[in-house]
């Protein structure tokens, strides 16, 4: 009986996609001057870690995926 565990598909594809996305992000961004970053300092432009952690935990318990932008946090017996 052969072990039927599939190797991660599209592994190279996924890494390549991230690198392309990152390169597109950084290209053509010669620089936004510090005094032009006033809007970025606004509270609503910061990521809300507290709510994101709560949501992450809920969806980790109810779906097969987890994390993405950060670590999922801790394990639990809920999945």
Partner 1 sequence: MDTNSTFDLTRDKRLWRIEFSAMASPCEILCETEDLDFARALGAYAAAEARRIDEKFSRYKADSVVAAMLESRGRSITVDDETAKLLDYGEMLWRVSEGRFDLTSGILRHAWQFEEATQAPDPQRIPELMRYVGWQRLQWAPPVLTLPAGMEVDFGGIGKEYAVDRVADWAARESGDPVLVNFGGDLRCTGAAPASGAWQVGIESLAKPGQPAKRIELTSGALATSGDARRAIVIDGKRYGHILDARTGWPAPGAPRSITVAAPTCSQAGSFSTLAMLHGADAEAFLRAENLRYWLLR
Partner 2 sequence: MQLKKKPIGATLAAATCSLLGSLPAAPAAAQEAKDWSIDTSLLYYGEDNGRVEDVSLMATIRRIFDEDRSLNATLTVDSLTGATPNGAVPANVPQTFTGPSGGGGYTVEPGEQPLDTTFLDTRTALSLSWQQAAGNATRWSVGFSGSDEYDYLHLGVDARLERDFNMRNTTAFVGLAYGQDDIKPVGGTPIGLSPMAGEVEDEDGDDDGDDRGRESEDSKDVADVLIGVTQVLSRRSLLEVAYSYGQSDGYLTDPYKILSVVDPVTGVPAASTEEGIPYLYLYEKRPDSRTKQSLFAEWRYALDRDSFALNFRFMDDDWGVQSQTAEARYRWNINDRSYLEPHLRWYTQSAADFYRTVLFAGDALPEFASADYRLADLDAYTIGAKYGLHTDHGEFSVRLEYYQQSPTESPGSAVGDLANLDLTPDMKAVIVQFGYQFDF
Site for partner 1 in 48-77 (CB under 8 A): none
Least distance CB 55 / partner 1 (angstroms): 27
Please choose which of partner 1, partner 2, none residue 12 contacts, taking the beta carbon within 5 to 8 angstroms, the exact cut-off set by kind: none
Q: CA triplet 34, 37, 40: central angle to 5 degrees?
A: 145
Least distance CB 37 / partner 1 (angstroms): 8
Least distance CB 48 / partner 2 (angstroms): 9
Which of 1, 39 has the CB closer to partner 1?
39
CA distance 74 to 72: 6
CA distance 64 to 47: 24
CA distance 10 to 65: 17
Check binding of 41 to partner 1 (CB under 8 A): yes
């Amino acid at each position: 009986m052969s072990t039927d565990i599939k190797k991660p598909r599209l592994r190279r594809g996924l890494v390549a996609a991230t690198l392309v996305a990152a390169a597109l992000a950084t290209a053509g961004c010669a620089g936004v001057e510090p005094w032009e970053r006033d809007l970025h300092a606004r509270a609503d432009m910061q990521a809300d870690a507290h709510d994101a952690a709560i949501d992450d935990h809920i969806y980790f318990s109810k779906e097969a995926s987890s994390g993405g932008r950060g670590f999922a946090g801790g394990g639990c017996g809920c999945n």
